[in-house]
């Protein structure tokens, strides 16, 4: 079990990183990535603090990865900020996609893909052309466990399957009640239209991309 999109007190989450880590450890997770909301004002602050706990927890299970979720960053600035976050030590860069429940700037999805983010979170009613690009660039499209963002999971899954774009299931957790069990994670994928075999293939591919480095 993995989750590569959740939030701590370093943005708008309720828990400190150690408690997030312990709660998912109790659920049998193999890895967790903390990816707090970031823009130009705070991405260094987030990464500097998360890297401290990554170093302290090195060698412990589940594996702790650190990252950011670039959120409401103007599309023209996304690619450069992805690069800067990686230079500052981010293991994973998520971009806050064009969810239908927030006024995300049009063009954010494409900018995230062209900038080669690792994960495009809750990409809403993403276009077929952008899904094709995600397949070409290997950018994961998220099936979200979060209320509101999850409304378009079926659309995302259908197009990802059509064009071979990689999918990932994440919680987008902000509080303890948001953390997914493996059973619920599988149900989210099935509810989006994946088969049991496709869910298994999804997890295997996620593991290969993020944990076998």
pLDDT tens digits along 127-174: 999 999 999 999 999 999 999 999 999 999 999 999 999 999 999 999
Express each pLDDT in 87-118 by its tens digit. 999 999 999 999 999 999 999 999 999 999 99
Both tokens of 181, joined, read: 């069990």
Residue 120 has pLDDT above 90, yes or no: yes
Q: Residue 116 maps to which CATH number?
A: 3.20.20.140
Average pLDDT, the chain: 97
> Mean per-residue pLDDT for 173-184?
97
pLDDT of residue 197: 96
Instruction: Measure the CA–CA gap between 118 and 95, rounded to whole angstroms.
Output: 8
Split into its structural domains, the chain has a count of 1
Express each pLDDT in 41-93 by its tens digit. 999 999 999 999 999 999 999 999 999 999 999 999 999 999 999 999 999 99
Structural domain including 34 reads: 2-210
pLDDT of residue 211: 85
Residues forming beta bridges with residue 20, ordered by sequence position: none
pLDDT of residue 213: 55
> Mean per-residue pLDDT for 191-204?
96
Cis ω for the linkage preceding 62 (within 30 of 0): yes
The continuous run of DSSP H or E covering 38 comes out as strand 31-38
> Mean per-residue pLDDT for 4-33?
98
């Amino acid at each position: 079990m993995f989750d590569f999109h959740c939030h701590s007190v370093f943005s708008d989450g309720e828990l400190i990183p150690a408690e997030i880590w312990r709660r998912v450890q109790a659920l049998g997770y193999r890895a967790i990535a903390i990816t707090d909301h970031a823009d130009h004002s705070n991405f260094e602050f987030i990464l500097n603090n998360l890297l401290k706990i990554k170093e302290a927890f090195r060698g412990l299970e589940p594996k702790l990865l650190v990252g950011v979720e670039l959120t409401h960053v103007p599309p023209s600035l996304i690619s450069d900020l992805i690069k800067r976050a990686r230079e500052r030590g981010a293991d994973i860069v998520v971009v806050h996609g064009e969810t239908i429940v927030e006024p995300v700037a049009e063009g954010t999805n494409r900018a995230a893909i062209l900038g080669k983010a690792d994960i495009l979170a809750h990409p809403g009613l993403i276009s077929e052309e952008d899904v094709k690009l995600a397949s070409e660039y290997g950018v994961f499209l998220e099936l979200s466990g979060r209320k509101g963002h999850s409304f378009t999971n079926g659309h995302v899954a259908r197009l990802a399957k059509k064009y071979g774009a990689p999918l990932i299931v994440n919680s987008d957790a902000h509080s303890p009640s948001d953390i997914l069990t493996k059973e619920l994670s599988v149900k989210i994928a099935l509810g989006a239209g994946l088969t049991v075999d496709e869910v298994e293939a999804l997890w295997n591919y996620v593991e290969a991309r993020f944990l076998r480095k």
